[in-house]
């Protein structure tokens, strides 16, 4: 196949299509059916589990495991990105994580409390596969799109992801709700995990076929270059000292992303535990419908945020979106009824896709002229992952100690407030 030039429509669409492939993980596994499935494994009056020598509140355990996974990703991604830079094959690394994640999703079919360690390993594989592949996926953006294209193609990727994931979730929802008994509903949930893994691996093939392999620097991979990723992160850190705008933006991103990602990862657990549902059937339907609502509204949110950034600038738009997020944290503390939960979910959807796509494209715009985009995006991803680790650990600790997820959600209000203050400190340029 002939090499496609930077900015080529086919190349841009192929890149964005990976969102269609992998977003089913974030919707079905991270956000909806798996949290419902996981919560259903526990009796209504027994919400604890023994693991690793401790007795954990069920929601705290999965939150701690999630935080640990992000810590692993933040450590290994610089190692692997450094190797990928030298070998010029970041697409192969992206494939590797894609397949690990897909197989992890398929393995969740056998998730059980009786085999908690193997079960958590499959959960770990899915999570590390998703986020590991994003290191390389995000780094392709400045390689395949010009600055004036990046906001829109980033938003297009998120929009395609929402559409694809909603389609599969509707199918999975129909499967679950078509069953009468609890055991049959659980079996349909297990089958949905297999469908996610197959979807992810299958649809990613188009992206892998079109995307370029990567740019090699002509050197062989040896033991001397294993730590090159960390060296490159250190170089990026030094370059940040000379780029005040990028440095201040990255600090702000670190803080507000910590809160955004934590909320996205625990939202359904919150809805399952803190909302007063009439019965288990209403709970299952209500939680999945709320996630569908978030995804549908998020498509509109990503587009509106992209348009707003063109008119008002990236930083001003991010400040406005963070103000909405901060308000939602405060409101969530008082949410009790299903209707209140649906209303909150709608507003979450409006700002969820927007803040993710705009944060990514803003960082891409602020980068200095360089061919080494993988190092900068590796730094971006490491900052995001460490932020998530901190956010999730704080959230899980508050949940474990106080016994209430409401207190933990309310605490995230502080991170958005600090993020807003830090965004105001980002130097202004007319074009941004």
The predicted pLDDT at position 61 comes to 83
pLDDT score of 278 more than 90: no
The predicted pLDDT at position 109 comes to 95
Mean of pLDDT values over 265-285: 81
The model's confidence at residue 405, banded by pLDDT at 50, 70 and 90, is confident
Of 45-54, 240-249, 359-368, 420-429, minimum mean pLDDT range: 45-54
Over the chain, what is the mean pLDDT? 82
Higher pLDDT, 350 or 77: 350
Give the rounded distance of the alpha carbon of 162 from its chain centre.
12
9-215+223-424 to CATH, choices 1.20.1250.20, 3.30.450.20, 3.30.565.10, 1.50.10.100: 1.20.1250.20
Higher pLDDT, 43 or 393: 393
What is the residue-wise DSSP string for 4-47?
PPTT-HHHHHHHHHHHHHHHHIIIIIIISHHHHHHHHTS-TT--
The predicted pLDDT at position 155 comes to 76
Residue with token string 């209303």: 343
Higher pLDDT, 163 or 5: 163
Q: Hey, where are the domains in the chain?
A: 9-215+223-424
pLDDT score of 46 more than 70: no
Of 116-125, 245-254, 400-409, minimum mean pLDDT range: 400-409
The model's confidence at residue 44, banded by pLDDT at 50, 70 and 90, is low
pLDDT score of 68 more than 70: yes
Q: What is the sign, positive or negative, of the torsion defined by CA atoms of 115, 116, 118, 122? A: positive
pLDDT score of 432 more than 50: no
The model's confidence at residue 421, banded by pLDDT at 50, 70 and 90, is very high
The predicted pLDDT at position 200 comes to 96
Write out pLDDT tens, residues 132-153.
888 788 778 777 877 777 778 8
Query: Residues 6 or more apart from 350 whose CB is under 8 A from it?
Result: 297, 298, 300, 301, 304, 324
The predicted pLDDT at position 430 comes to 46
- Backbone phi and psi for residue 43, each to the nearest 5 degrees, phi listed first: -65, 150
- The answer for 53, left when phi > 0, alpha when psi is -120 to 50, beta otherwise, is left
- 181-190 long-range contacts (CB < 8 A, ≥24 apart) are 182/40, 182/280, 185/284, 186/37, 186/40, 189/33, 189/34, 189/36, 189/37, 190/37, 190/108, 190/109, 190/110, 190/111
pLDDT score of 429 more than 70: no
The model's confidence at residue 366, banded by pLDDT at 50, 70 and 90, is confident
Mean of pLDDT values over 258-263: 86
The model's confidence at residue 424, banded by pLDDT at 50, 70 and 90, is very high
pLDDT score of 431 more than 60: no
Q: Cα separation of 12 and 185, whole Å? A: 39
The model's confidence at residue 217, banded by pLDDT at 50, 70 and 90, is low
Bridge partners (DSSP) listed for residue 54: 51
The predicted pLDDT at position 205 comes to 95
pTM of the shown model: 0.74
The predicted pLDDT at position 130 comes to 92
Higher pLDDT, 101 or 77: 101
Write out pLDDT tens, residues 221-247.
555 556 666 777 787 788 877 788 888
Mean of pLDDT values over 204-225: 71
The predicted pLDDT at position 160 comes to 87
Write out pLDDT tens, residues 86-109.
666 778 888 999 999 999 999 999
């Amino acid at each position: 196949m002939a090499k496609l030039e930077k900015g080529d429509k086919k190349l841009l669409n192929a890149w964005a299509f990976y969102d269609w492939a992998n977003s089913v993980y974030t919707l079905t596994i991270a956000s909806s059916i798996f949290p419902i499935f996981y919560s259903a494994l526990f009796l209504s009056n027994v919400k604890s589990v023994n693991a690793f020598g401790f007795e954990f509140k069920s929601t705290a355990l999965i939150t701690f495991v999630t935080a640990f996974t992000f810590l692993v990703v933040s450590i290994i991604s610089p190692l692997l990105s450094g190797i990928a830079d030298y070998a010029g094959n970041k697409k192969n690394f992206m494939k590797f994580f894609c397949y690990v994640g897909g197989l992890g999703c398929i393995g969740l079919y056998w998730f059980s409390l009786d085999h908690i360690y193997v079960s958590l390993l499959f959960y770990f594989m899915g999570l590390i596969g998703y986020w590991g592949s994003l290191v390389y996926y995000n780094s392709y953006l400045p390689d395949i799109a010009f600055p004036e294209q990046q906001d829109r193609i980033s938003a297009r990727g998120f929009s395609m992801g929402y559409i694809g994931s909603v389609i599969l979730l509707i199918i999975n929802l129909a499967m679950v709700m078509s069953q009468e008994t609890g055991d049959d509903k659980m079996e349909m949930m297990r089958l949905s995990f297999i469908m996610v893994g197959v979807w992810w691996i299958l649809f990613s093939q188009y992206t892998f076929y079109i995307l370029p392999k990567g740019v090699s620097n002509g050197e062989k991979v040896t033991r001397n270059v294993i730590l090159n990723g960390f060296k490159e992160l250190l170089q990026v850190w030094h370059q940040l000292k000379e780029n005040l705008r990028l440095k201040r933006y990255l600090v702000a991103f670190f803080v507000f992303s910590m809160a955004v990602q934590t909320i996205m990862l625990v939202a359904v657990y919150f809805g399952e535990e803190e909302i007063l549902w009439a019965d288990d059937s209403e709970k299952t339907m209500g939680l999945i419908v709320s996630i569908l609502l978030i995804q549908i509204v998020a498509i509109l949110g990503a587009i509106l945020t992209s348009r707003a950034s063109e008119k008002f600038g990236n930083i001003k738009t991010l400040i406005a979106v963070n103000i909405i997020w901060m308000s939602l944290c405060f409101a969530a503390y008082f949410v009790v009824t299903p209707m209140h939960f649906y209303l909150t979910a709608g507003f979450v959807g409006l700002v969820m896709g927007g803040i993710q796509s705009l944060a990514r494209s803003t960082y891409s715009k602020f980068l200095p002229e360089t061919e080494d985009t993988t190092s900068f995006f590796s730094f971006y991803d490491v900052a995001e992952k460490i932020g998530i680790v901190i956010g999730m650990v704080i959230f899980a600790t508050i949940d474990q100690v106080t016994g209430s997820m409401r207190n933990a959600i309310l605490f995230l209000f502080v991170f958005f407030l600090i993020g807003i203050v830090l965004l105001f400190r980002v130097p202004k340029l007319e074009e941004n």
